[in-house]
Structure 1
């Protein structure tokens, strides 16, 4: 696909705006290349990579070993994992909500239904309305693994297609709570998140996300079947350059630390495997 001058990117709804902006800037610099970017969720993008219907899968969660094995079997190529940006998984409430911080344990109790009223966590005497992402979303998977510790969401949680929809719902609902990528968090309030009851609440700022002190920080990934060549390699190399990373910051996510970019650059010279995203906040 990429050899013909066309590149397809599919997957994470969290990343779709970032992917589209990368595509716009890259195509302006390379008029002979056409890049198509679509969402649908991380799971949808990964399935498309496995089935050979996309060049790049965008994912806001790490690809599972079982998925990588299946892709290798179907495509006859090993999966290349490239962390392309950093994100703080923000927790949103209405600007009218007096609560300003919650611990990871409180968030788990809220989303599993053990806590149902805001007064139990320092808020008003009102029922908590849960907003969540769909289960094919990498954001959903990450939140379930790292906040709920793989417990089930409470059945009353309303699942919505994309972080923008969660933001809109919470903005209209003073009793609501939601979660999603930091770049979408406009017009609502970000809660500070505490690692435990005795810790200070940490804001999802660039400094805190890059350092890993924010408890729910994560890498955003591109996945490819085999080593990139031609226009695909040119695109990946550009995204991993200072120029490409500047787009990340403009969109509202956080650029990769210099050590990750340096490892990618070194890989290009040595032919070694791609850089692994360091663990930040459990991922």
Structure 2
């Protein structure tokens, strides 16, 4: 057993953060609330459905305590759809940048190769703000009564490309039952990670099923309709019906790392091989409400520690691992 505790890193960081935000809040002149700044104006924030219930109260905390002149309109979208909105709304907006609503997104992965290419082709690289917030894990989710216990990244990759896949492809000796993978959406963060990192841009072989939302995917998995590939943050909230498989891997030196279950501890210790990066993006500029809120999420002890309490590995909180007595 091990216990996670916050290190003294935050006693230093907290002071620096407070100073930076005091400067940002005070400014040289009183705010014109009709114009955008890091603490005033309007922000439309598209949030990956997996994390929307985490972000809503943090947005309320930010506007109440630091930015009472800012409004944040949170909308729920899958990752791919959110990236499209970010690009399209920026290109379509012909109004003044200091008065138009800023647009930002929070998704559970980094931008994919084709998304970065589109941003580059439209000469938006210099405007792109990329603000890492936390780490999650891609979980293999099964009903509690499933005979499957563990697998490896290599076995998972093989199972994803196998047409007539059976349980023993994922775990030797687990039987000949046919397997189906369940994804929340073809536009989800987890599916984007699978395609980019496990399938090198290809689609998984059939049978596979895509559902509209994480809740519908959870129900399908719990009913034995397939093995879920989804963010651990959402999956572990339904531990009464579901559990996750341990996953092992061979690193770049060929060393075999034994299977571990995705958890805050295995994420922090870099023992779990399939990590999802929760990242905020905006094209609205450094003086925008988008940058103000996303930067606060990344640097505030309030926001970062809340992410840790909910099970994520925060980007800017360091942990000390102490054996429990």
Q: TM-score range by the shorter chain?
A: 0.7 to 0.9
Query: Are the counterparts in 2 of residues 88 and 209 from structure 1 also a CA contact under 8 Å?
Result: yes
- Note the C-alpha offset of 1:166: 2.0
Deviations 1:158-184 (A, max 9, x none): 1012333322211111x6201111111
1:2–1:70 CA distance, 2 compared to 1 (3 A): farther
1:171–1:24 CA distance, 2 compared to 1 (3 A): farther
Unaligned runs of 5+ in 2: 1-34, 91-101, 319-325
Matched, 1:192 2:224: no
Query: Are the counterparts in 1 of residues 80 and 189 from structure 2 also a CA contact under 8 Å?
Result: yes
Structure-1 residue corresponding to 2:280 = 222
Query: Are the counterparts in 1 of residues 304 and 316 from structure 2 also a CA contact under 8 Å?
Result: no
For residues 96-107 of structure 1, the aligned pairs below 5 Å read: 96-107=145-156
Query: Are the counterparts in 2 of residues 50 and 71 from structure 1 also a CA contact under 8 Å?
Result: no
Structure-2 residue corresponding to 1:245 = 304
Structure-2 residue corresponding to 1:68 = 119
What is the SS of the residue equivalent to 2:69? coil
- Note the C-alpha offset of 1:95: 0.5
Which stretch of structure 1 is more off in the superposition, 93-102 or 225-234? 225-234
Structure-1 residue corresponding to 2:294 = 236
- Note the C-alpha offset of 1:21: 3.2
Matched, 1:47 2:84: yes
- Matched residues in 2 for 1:178 and 1:95: separation? 13
Aligned pair partner of 2:229 in 157, 170, 179:
179
Which stretch of structure 1 is more off in the superposition, 80-89 or 16-25? 16-25
Structure-1 residue corresponding to 2:41 = 5
Deviations 1:108-128 (A, max 9, x none): 222223562224423244221
Query: Are the counterparts in 2 of residues 84 and 239 from structure 1 also a CA contact under 8 Å?
Result: yes
Structure-2 residue corresponding to 1:281 = none
Aligned residues between the structures: 256
1:123–1:179 CA distance, 2 compared to 1 (3 A): same
Query: Are the counterparts in 2 of residues 194 and 201 from structure 1 also a CA contact under 8 Å?
Result: yes
- The structure having more radius of gyration, on CA atoms, is 2
- Note the C-alpha offset of 1:10: 0.9
- Note the C-alpha offset of 1:137: 2.0
- Note the C-alpha offset of 1:224: 1.1
- Matched residues in 1 for 2:214 and 2:311: separation? 14
What TM-score does the superposition give when structure 2 sets the normalisation length? 0.70
Structure-2 residue corresponding to 1:271 = none
- Matched residues in 2 for 1:42 and 1:192: separation? 26
- Matched residues in 1 for 2:295 and 2:75: separation? 21
Query: Are the counterparts in 2 of residues 163 and 181 from structure 1 also a CA contact under 8 Å?
Result: no
Unaligned runs of 5+ in 1: 260-283
- Note the C-alpha offset of 1:84: 1.0
CA RMSD of aligned residues (A): 2.6
Aligned pair partner of 1:32 in 48, 52, 69:
69
